[in-house]
Structure 1
C-alpha cells in the first residue's frame, strides 16, 4: 500500500496551524532546529573521531624514533583546540540559538542612552548616513532619552544636529599613558569638558558600519532597565537583508556569528565573565563603569580595539542572558561603503 507522504505532511502542518498557538509553534520550530544542530554536531564529532582513531604516526623502524616523535607532536597539535571546541559545543547545547524571546521594555522609563560611534573620519558621508539611520530608527522606535555621538579623528562637518553630536579628537590630544587610535578617541570622550553623560547613563559602543535593528533596541532597553548587570554584549550578523558585495568575505565573517551564539554566549550567560574574549563593538556599558575603569591603558596591546579592556571590565558584574542581534556587513577590498553590520 502506497503512502502519499506529501498528503501526510500537509495534514500534519494543518493540524499544527489549527491547534497550536503562534507562540507554541515558534517554540516548537526553534526546538526542532536546535535538535538538528545538536544531531549534526554529534554526527560530526563521531565522524572525526572515527577518522582519527586509527591514524598512527609513522613507524619508528621506518623513519626512526626522532622523526616519529616529531610527527607525533604535529599530529597532536590540532587537539589543542579541543577545550574551545567543547565550550562552543556547550554554548550550542545549553542555549537555543533559534529561540527568539520577545520582550516589551518600558520605553518611557528607560534611562538615557548614548550610541557612540568611533571612526577615523575617512568616509564622512558613509558615517553620517549610518548615524542618521540609527537616529531615525530610535525615534521611530519611540526612544525618548538618547543621543548618537560620532567620535572622529577628522572633522566630518555633520549638518545633522538633531540627536546627533559630532566630537572631533584634537590632533594634539595625548592621554597620560599614551593610548592610541580607538582607545585614545574613547578616552577623550571621558574628559570632563567633553563628557556630558551622567554616571547612571548607558553607552552603546558601535563601529561606523554598524546598523541597529528594532530587535537590538528592544534587547538593549530590556538589559539596561532590568538592572542585573553593568556590561552586556550581543551577537552581530552580517549583510542581514542587505545586498552582499562580496560573498567570500561575508561567509568568512559569518563564522564569527556562530562563535557569538556558542562560545561568547556561554561565557556571558553562564560564567558572567569575558573569559575567552570580547568583541570591540556592540558593547552596552554603564557610564560609571567606563569612568571608573578608564580606557587609558597604554599603546601596547590595546591600540586598535577595546577587546583587551574586557580584562578590566571583567572585574565588574557582567551578564547578558538576552541576545538581540545587530547587523554588520562584511568588509570588502573594493568598496568601503559596503561595510555594514547589523546589530
Structure 2
C-alpha cells in the first residue's frame, strides 16, 4: 500500500494496527514479570535515597542516634497520614504493582460459558465529531467475530455522523421524548440502550467514551473474559497521553481490590472501557440522577453481589487538554460521588483531598 496516500477520517493503516498490537503484547510480556521487577526497583530506590541522604549529610541532621521517637517524627507522621489514607489501603499502588498479574492466564484457560453478542457502545453528545471519528478508526480491525457489533449512541437530535461513519457501525439516537425517572445526560442514553436492546445474561456491552480508542487485542481480551472468566463486570486501566498518576492509580485503587476480592473499592470504576453482562445492567439499570453514573453503577452492583474482574488490555484515551476542561471533569466526578447516600463513600473522597491541602499549608 502506498504510504503517501492521504488518510481520511476513517482510515488507519495496516502498519499502525500491527504497531499497536505489538506494543500491547510486548507491554504485557514484560508486565508478566512485575512480581520481580517492581519489588527490585522499590528496593533500589530506597537504597539510592539512603545513600544520597548520607552523602549530603541530611541523614545525620534529621536522625538522632539512639532516639526512637522525636517531636519531628510526630509532625512528619501527622503530615503523611492523609497521604497514606488516601491510597485506601496504604501503599495500595505498591501492592497492586507487586501482585503477580499473569496477564495471559485467562487466554490459556478453558471456556466456561457461552455468549450471544458483544456490543461495543460509544456514547457521544455529537459535538466532538472528529474525536468520535478518530476513535472509530480501529474498529474495522476488531470485527473478527460475527457476535461483535459496534454502536455509536447519539445523545442529541442532530446527526452529524450518518455519512461519515463506516456502514458496519450502527447509529442509535436517543429520542428527546425518552425521560426516565432519574437518569440524565450519559446515564439517560445508557438507560435507553439497555431498554432498547433487551439484554439477557448472554449479552455483554463494552462501554466506551468518545475519546477512547480500542484495538483487536483488547476485543480478544474481552472475548476471553466473557468465555473463559467467571466475573460479570470487567474493567482495565488506560494508557493515557497525560495524567500519569491515574495510570499508577489503576494498579492500586482499581486493580488491587478487583484481583483480591472480586469487587471494586466502594464504587471506583472507570467511566470508559467497562465490560458488563446484560443481567447486571438489567438488575442495576442506569436510571440514576448521579452525575458519576459509573461510580454509582459499580457501587450498586457490588452491593448486589456481582463479581468484578480485571481485563489485561490497553485502551488509549485523550485526557482533558485544558485546565478548564480538567476542572470541569473533576468537578463532575466529585459532585456526583458526594451525592451518593453513603457516609463511607463521602469519607473516602474527602480524606484523599486532605493530603495536598496539608502540604499546601506547610
Q: TM-score, normalised by structure 2?
A: 0.65
Distance of 2:233 and 2:71 partners within structure 1: 48
Quote how far apart the aligned CAs of 1:204 are.
0.2
Q: Structure 1 pair 331/101, CA: closer, same or farther in 2 (3 Å)?
A: farther
Distance of 1:189 and 1:307 partners within structure 2: 19
Q: Say whether 1:313 aligns with 2:286.
A: no
On the 8 A contact 1:115/1:206 being kept in 2, the answer is yes
* Pair member with larger Rg: 1
On the 8 A contact 2:84/2:90 being kept in 1, the answer is no
Q: State the partner residue of 2:126.
A: 121
Tell me the alpha carbon deviations over residues 153-177 of structure 1, each in whole angstroms, 9 at most, x when there is no partner. Answer: 2233423463322122233432113
Query: Does the residue aligned with 2:187 lie in a helix, a strand or coil?
Result: helix
Q: How does 1:21-60 map to 2 (within 5 A)?
A: 34-44=35-45, 57=71
Quote how far apart the aligned CAs of 1:218 are.
1.6
Query: Does the residue aligned with 2:119 lie in a helix, a strand or coil?
Result: strand
On the 8 A contact 1:128/1:158 being kept in 2, the answer is no
On the 8 A contact 1:230/1:316 being kept in 2, the answer is no
Tell me the alpha carbon deviations over residues 228-252 of structure 1, each in whole angstroms, 9 at most, x when there is no partner. Answer: 11111112112xxxxxxxxxxx342
Q: State the partner residue of 1:332.
A: 321
Superposed CA RMSD in Å reads 3.7
Q: State the partner residue of 1:148.
A: 150
Q: How does 1:188-203 map to 2 (within 5 A)?
A: 188-191=192-195, 194-195=196-197, 197-203=199-205
On the 8 A contact 1:111/1:225 being kept in 2, the answer is no
Quote how far apart the aligned CAs of 1:30 are.
5.1
Query: Does the residue aligned with 2:91 lie in a helix, a strand or coil?
Result: helix
Q: Structure 1 pair 111/26, CA: closer, same or farther in 2 (3 Å)?
A: same
Q: State the partner residue of 1:270.
A: 260
Q: State the partner residue of 1:231.
A: 233
Q: State the partner residue of 1:222.
A: 224
Query: Does the residue aligned with 1:84 lie in a helix, a strand or coil?
Result: coil
Distance of 1:206 and 1:88 partners within structure 2: 25
Quote how far apart the aligned CAs of 1:77 are.
3.9
Aligned length: 278
Q: State the partner residue of 2:312.
A: 323
Tell me the alpha carbon deviations over residues 270-321 of structure 1, each in whole angstroms, 9 at most, x when there is no partner. Answer: 11001251111111111121012111123xxx22441221011112432425
Q: TM-score, normalised by structure 1?
A: 0.68
Tell me the alpha carbon deviations over residues 37-84 of structure 1, each in whole angstroms, 9 at most, x when there is no partner. Answer: 2133245567889978779658xxxxxxxxx99x98556444433643
On the 8 A contact 1:229/1:318 being kept in 2, the answer is yes
